[in-house]
Structure 1
């Protein structure tokens, strides 16, 4: 009957209108779907058209890429002076670390980043990972300090730049995370003393700025040490950073623990699991999966907070970059310097953000509705 109704043949398949599918469909739906959306799209296009071309002309087409002095950059019509970055890149990346030994912080930084990348791969999540981290940190310490195996000793007062930023951020994250877990569990403990101590620690540390913690660790804490006892400044700053971040991690993890249904606890207890077994196998995996975004956001904040160590005389990437501006030959090119430094920070922070999104998708694959 259908064939008769259509003149003896099957009705031809009809495609949806072109403006409803593909690129045109997406543009029409997302950019010109309403009067307000159309107006905002036109404003955005105008803004991009008036800013992007001049910026590219300044940053790329008229830029000075190589020069021994700043004279070519000061010629009328010259664009960005990237020659400044090329000339001062060693100071920016390595601070005042001895010039001839800068291969050591470069190798130590590469090793730390390799361990971080390997730790992001779930195939390496086993009991051996902690051992590899211990060995890696020992090797990095030998490379940075030296004094053994024929390496020249370099005081950590001469450390700076990107290696110092990465070392403080990575070591801070590695040690702050387990301490934060313990504090989160302690705050939810049924034992009053442990709960009160955890609450007191978390609220006290979260109630003061990080800069106060760093100054206390660097200036005030040595006053309470016995005569003749001295603790390294970098170590004191690193411990202060770890203690500060642990308090924030504890509250993030506590939020995840409270989101785990009570039935999960009861099921674990019904199976006869001990407290540690229940937390390790059932509760913590679910809690940590739910708080991946805020945890990564906290790690990103830690990476950027390393700039505050300048108050105790340590120069991270940003402050080593600022030191490059003290050269009278290259004064007046702070815009290029800050753009370059911002790009470095963006690469690291964006990489952490994208990894967290990927990890969240993988771990939530079985629970997605």
Structure 2
């Protein structure tokens, strides 16, 4: 049945199920209340601010890594497309080396190769571990972005190059005015997917002493020293990473569908 109000037909089923809905909300609130009274839940709430600060460190590492990797990747990708062999081969070697290198090995490499501080003009600047990890993640990111860029350029029909040449455009003009604008749409979905992967890869930072969310969880687990709390806190980390990366994945799929015909 339906109820008419001001000329608008409204279904009657929400009224029938309204009591059930309030009952479910009440039961959920009661279960949440009793869950928060347990020692494990109280300990998790106490450590939540520290976990949030640690996860913020992971996000900073991922953002800086994708920024550095994007700049390097676009440069390497452009060199890989160069007609000059002296520029093309070093770029391809870079891509093959860093695409096939384990991320953990690169993180250890950058951690121990770079010094703890840099001297510039007689002034010493600290070189923190989180920045070394960022560089370690930016290297494989640059190789993958270079391949994404190369694939995007290769996906442009050759007829567009030929039509532009027939209009007396130079190679640089064709690249800047015709090819690059189309490449951006093709690159955006895989670039976002790569960012989500790098965000998950920041969990390796704790292995070299970076105080991120994983390191915070380990400290909390050792401090509370309860098996139930350890299980809950690592499940919370899974939920935290999922809540951050899943919307990126969904947006990537939406962009792929949107640009499927371009």
CA distances 1:332-356 after superposition (whole Å, capped 9, x unpaired): 3222212221121112111112222
Q: 1:164 aligns with which of 50, 54, 57?
A: 57
Contact 1:293–1:356 under 8 Å retained in 2: yes
> Which residue does the alignment assign to 1:196?
89
State whether structure 2 residue 48 is matched by structure 1 residue 89: yes
Partners of 1:341 and 1:232 in 2: CA distance: 24
Q: Secondary structure at the match of 2:36?
A: coil
Work out which of the two has the higher radius of gyration on C-alpha atoms and give 1 or 2.
1
Partners of 2:32 and 2:134 in 1: CA distance: 43
Q: 1:221 aligns with which of 114, 117, 122?
A: 114
Q: Secondary structure at the match of 1:347?
A: helix
Structure 1 residue 192 displacement after superposition: 0.7
Partners of 1:322 and 1:235 in 2: CA distance: 21
Q: 1:186 aligns with which of 58, 79, 95?
A: 79
Report how many aligned residue pairs link the two structures: 231
Q: 2:212 aligns with which of 295, 312, 316?
A: 316
Report the structure, 1 or 2, having the larger strand content: 2
Report the structure, 1 or 2, having the larger helix content: 2
Partners of 2:259 and 2:181 in 1: CA distance: 10
Contact 1:91–1:324 under 8 Å retained in 2: no
Structure 1 residue 180 displacement after superposition: 1.1
Structure 1 residue 213 displacement after superposition: 1.2
Structure 1 residue 167 displacement after superposition: 0.5
Question: TM-score w.r.t. structure 2 length?
Answer: 0.76
Question: TM-score w.r.t. structure 1 length?
Answer: 0.56
Partners of 1:178 and 1:270 in 2: CA distance: 32
CA distances 1:11-55 after superposition (whole Å, capped 9, x unpaired): xxxxxxxxxxxxxxxxxxxxxxxxxxxxxxxxxxxxxxxxxxxxx
Structure 1 residue 198 displacement after superposition: 0.2
Contact 2:58–2:202 under 8 Å retained in 1: yes
CA distances 1:255-301 after superposition (whole Å, capped 9, x unpaired): 22222111122223333434443223322333342344432221111
> Which residue does the alignment assign to 2:12?
none
Structure possessing the higher relative contact order (Cα contacts under 8 Å, 6 or more residues apart): 2
- Give unpaired runs (5+ residues) of structure 2: 1-26
Partners of 2:138 and 2:108 in 1: CA distance: 14
> Which residue does the alignment assign to 1:175?
68
- Give unpaired runs (5+ residues) of structure 1: 1-56, 74-80, 95-160
Q: 4+ residue stretches of structure 1 with deviation over 6 A?
A: none
CA 1:232–1:322 in structure 2 vs 1: closer, same or farther (change >3 Å)?
closer
RMSD between superposed Cα atoms in Å: 2.9
